[in-house]
Amino acid sequence: MKNLTIELKALTFHLIILNDQIIHLSFSPDSHQQAIKKISRQQPIFPLKSGPEKDKLITEFKRYFAGQPYNLPWSTQAPFYSSGSAFQQEVWELIRAIPRGKVMTYGELAAELGGKGYARAVGRACNTNPLALIVPCHRVVGVKDIGGFAGGRLIKKRLLEIEGIFDDGGQRQLPLK
C-alpha cells in the first residue's frame, strides 16, 4: 500500500493507493491520517516514490484540473468506498453524475433520493466521502451558499473556481445540473 501527497493548482491533497487503485483521496490531513491509521492495521503503508506510477497519477490530476479527459484509477470495491452505507453509496453515485462546471444543491440531491427531508443526510454523506474529486462532492452546494466541505470551505471554493462555477466577482453562478 502506498501513500502520496500532491500539490497542484494551489491545493494539497492526500492519497492512499492499493494495487494501483486510489482507495482514499482527501484534502484534509486529519482525514488522511485517520484513514492511514485504519488501513495500516491490515497492511503497511509506504510513501510512493518518484517513478512512472507517481508521474502517471500527477499527469491524470493535471488533466482533471485542466478540464481534459482523465483516468483516475479507483474501484467501487475500494475499502473505504465499499464500507459506506447503502444510502451513502447511493448519494456518492448521484454525485459522480454531476458534470464538471455544474452544481446541485443538497435539497436537489435529496429530492432525487426520495425527499427534501434527506438534505442533511446528503450533507453527511458528502462529509464522509472517501474519494474527493473522484466523487466530486464539492459540486454539491447549499441554496444560499456553497455549503460545507470536509477539506474546508476555502478548498471547496477553489475547486469550484477551477471548474468555472464562480464569476470574476466571486459570486456563485447557478449552472445547475
Active site members: 137
CB atoms within 10 A of CB 81: 21
Q: Rounded distance, CA 74 to CA 68, Å?
A: 18
Residues 6+ apart with CB under 8 A from 164: 101, 173, 175
- The C-alpha cell that represents 107 in the structure block: 435539497
- The C-alpha cell that represents 152 in the structure block: 474546508
Grid look-up 447503502 returns: 86
